A and B are shown apart, each in its own frame.
Chain A
Amino acid sequence: MVAIRASKTAAPHARGVGPHSVSLEPILPEVAAGSPGAVSACIGRYGNLLWTVARRMLPTAAEAEDAVQEIFVELWRCAPGFSPHRGSESVFVMTLARRRLIDRLRRAGRRPREVRLEEAPVRSSEAALERGLDAARTAVLLESLPAERRRVLRLCVVEGWSHAEAARITGLPLGTVKSHVQRGLAQVRRALTNREGVAS
């Protein structure tokens, strides 16, 4: 289990605090301030991540390319609105990206896509830590969730399926899918709300 320490004052709620620490200096304030090289560094830091999530949620590479460009344009525009007091920078970036991707899916009428047969494991908290402390805390929380809820969350949050589509894929009643999504997100929300002084 990785130890998560954001700062001397942070009181992380993930299990275990040990010798490791992580420092992911936010880059968006630099982008907002127009610092030389900040935009390139931002593309370097988040380009692969945004490409990965776009490929996961959209049916074709061409659409993913369009979406990633759109997301970065939005990111330049919204960079000044990032506040480390409201969550990790990676969460800010992913929130913005998911909104754009969900918009695209809705516009496209949620075209059917291939359902992935293999279930990728939840990232270990060590691996999730590379994506920020909020991701690491969420990874720790996920370990305690029932497998069925994790699967529904994966379909609806990571793959971009609607609740109805997830019900069809899993064979679960729609009400059960909605309940898993709502409770799962509420659990994550509580875990993130309990964070203190985290600024990465």
Chain B
Amino acid sequence: MTDRAQRELQVEQRLVERATEGLDEAGAEELATAFARDPSLDHDEFDRAAAALALAMLGDDEPMPDALREQLHQQVPPKVEVAAAVAPQPPASRAAWLGWAIAVAAVLVLIVVELRRPPAVVAPARPVIVRTEPAPTPPPTKRAAPSPADARQRLLRRDPEALVVAWADGTTPQISGISGDVVWSNQEQAGFMRLRNLPPNDPRKDVYQLWIFDAERDERFPVDGGVFSIEPGTREAVVPIAARLAVSRATLFAVTVEAPGGVVVSDRSRIAALAKVDG
């Protein structure tokens, strides 16, 4: 068997394992490397095959408990906002999502080089970005709401266990010298980004978006941390994090540059900043 054939077999074995019993970190890293090496690989084909098998082999549907059904109807977000301009979404091209795979694989390589240890995340195979509703406006009070910088300090005081992770440059050559930190409280599921040297953006042309990689979630689907902009003349921006889903154990924070009007599917080509969690 040639080396190439051997590699292909190993990749297929990993894809099958992922589709049936999940992968440990070493297996996930092996796959990420394979995806970066061979952009023609279909990330999801064995997952889809396993899903089709489950559909064909699963017995008759059991009725869902009424209480659960009721709960589901109640917990539906008030509005899953999707820009009209991007919905319905055109078929995601292989090149688009493989582009993300390659970009994130490059990020992983950078992390390995810089931190001398393997990263814990894998490229999202088909990540989807859904714009969330803006944070609800707090009811008017006589006391002024604390500034984001003050709120960040208060969060740090309330939760001594909160993560504080330094920003580093991403993979976009035009954006460099990023500094500052991310504060994230698992306890409160809240946090703030403090960013210096992130260039101002014209929201009519592009926006920044935060992604949170969670060790206990599928590594291909980072949690959307919200969209934000940097105004001209800003030396240091403190931006509240608006995580769309619960985060169990953050492993990496990434800021990407996305299209205005809310990107539904990112082209995943511009990573502005990264903050890797130690440990």
Instruction: Report if A192-B48 is in contact (Cβ < 8 Å); known contacts: A43-B73, A139-B56.
Output: yes
* In contact, A162 and B21 (Cβ under 8 angstroms): yes
B91 shortest CB reach to chain A, Å: 4
In the bound assembly, the distance between CA atoms of A95 and B235 in angstroms comes to 44
A144 within 8 A of B: no
Cβ A157 vs Cβ B53 within 8 A: yes
Which residues of chain B are near A135, meaning CB under 8 Å? Answer: 52, 55-56
Contact in complex: A142, B82 (CB < 8 Å): no
Query: Within 8 Å CB of A192, what residues of B?
Result: 45, 48-49, 52
Decide: A91 and B265 in contact? CB cutoff 8 A.
no
Q: Is B54 an interface residue (CB 8 A)?
A: yes
Q: Quick one: which of A78, A102, A123 contacts B57, CB cutoff 8 A?
A: A123
Say yes or no: A138-B245 contact (C-beta < 8 A), given A53-B58, A95-B44, A163-B20. no
Is there a chain B Cβ closer than 8 Å to A194's Cβ?
A: no
Docked Cα-Cα span, A182 to B46, in Å, equals 9
**A154 proximity list for chain B (CB < 8 A):** 57
**Roughly how many angstroms separate A33 CA and B49 CA in the complex, as a whole number?**
28
> A127-138 interface mask toward B, CB cutoff 8 Å, 1 = contact, 0 = none?
110011011111
Query: Are A98 and B50 within 8 A (Cβ)?
Result: yes
| Chain A, 68-84, CB within 8 A of any chain B CB | 68-69, 72-74, 76-84
**Min CB distance, A125 to chain B, in Å?**
8
Listed stretches B29-37, B63-71, B145-153, B180-188; interface member: B63-71
Q: Mark B1-34, 1 if CB is under 8 A from A, else 0.
A: 0000000000011001101111000000000000
Determine the distance from Cα of A50 to Cα of B64 in the docked complex, in whole angstroms: 8
* Interface flag for B258 (CB, 8 Å): no
B224 within 8 A of A: yes
In the complex, what residue of chain A is closest to B94 when comparing beta carbons?
A: A86
Decide if A196 is an interface residue (CB 8 Å cutoff). Answer: no
- B126: A residues at CB distance < 8 A: 81
Closest approach, in angstroms, between the C-beta of A151 and any C-beta of chain B? Answer: 10
Query: What is the size category of the interface that chain A forms with chain B?
Result: 35 or more
Q: Judging by beta carbons under 8 Å apart, are A182 and B51 in contact? A: no
Residues of A near B59 (CB, < 8 A) are 52, 56, 120, 123
Asked if A32 contacts B87 (CB within 8 A), the reply is yes
- Distance of A174 Cα from B244 Cα, bound (Å): 40
Q: Which of B56, B72, B77, B80 lies in contact with A138, CB distance below 8 A?
A: B56
Please indicate which of the listed interface residues B16, B92, B127 has the most CB atoms of chain A within 10 Å of its own CB: B16
Look across to chain B and name the residue whose beta carbon is closest to the beta carbon of A54: B64
CA distance A153 to B51 in the complex (A): 12
Is A184 in the interface zone, CB < 8 Å from B?
yes
**Known contacts A87-B48, A122-B57; is A33 also within 8 Å of B88 by CB?**
yes
CB-contacts of A89-124 with B (<8 A): 90-92, 94-95, 97-100, 102-103, 105-107, 120, 122-123
A160 to chain B, nearest CB (A): 8
**Is B65 in contact with A65, judged by CB distance below 8 angstroms?**
yes
Given the known inter-chain contacts A76-B80, A81-B92, please indicate yes or no for A138 contacting B55, CB distance below 8 A: yes
Q: Which of A32, A51, A90, A185 contacts B88 (CB 8 A)?
A: A32
- CB of B128 within 8 A of CB of A102, answer no
Cross-chain contact A134 with B64 (CB below 8 angstroms)? no
Nearest residue, chain B, Cβ from A122: B57
Interchain nearest-CB distance for A110 vs B (Å): 8
In this assembly, does A169 line the interface, its C-beta being within 8 Å of a C-beta of chain B? no
Per-position binary interface string of chain A over residues 50-63, scored 1 when its CB falls under 8 Å from any chain B CB and 0 otherwise = 11110110000100
20 contacts between A and B (CB under 8 A): A29-B88, A32-B89, A34-B87, A48-B63, A51-B65, A56-B59, A68-B72, A76-B76, A76-B80, A80-B89, A81-B92, A81-B127, A81-B265, A99-B218, A105-B21, A106-B22, A122-B56, A154-B57, A157-B53, A185-B53
Identify 6 new A-B residue pairs, CB closer than 8 A, beyond the known A33-B84, A103-B22, A122-B57.
A33-B82, A48-B64, A74-B221, A90-B55, A100-B218, A142-B57
State the 6 A-B residue pairs at the shortest beta-carbon distance, nearest first.
Answer: A135-B55, A81-B128, A94-B51, A51-B64, A48-B61, A138-B56
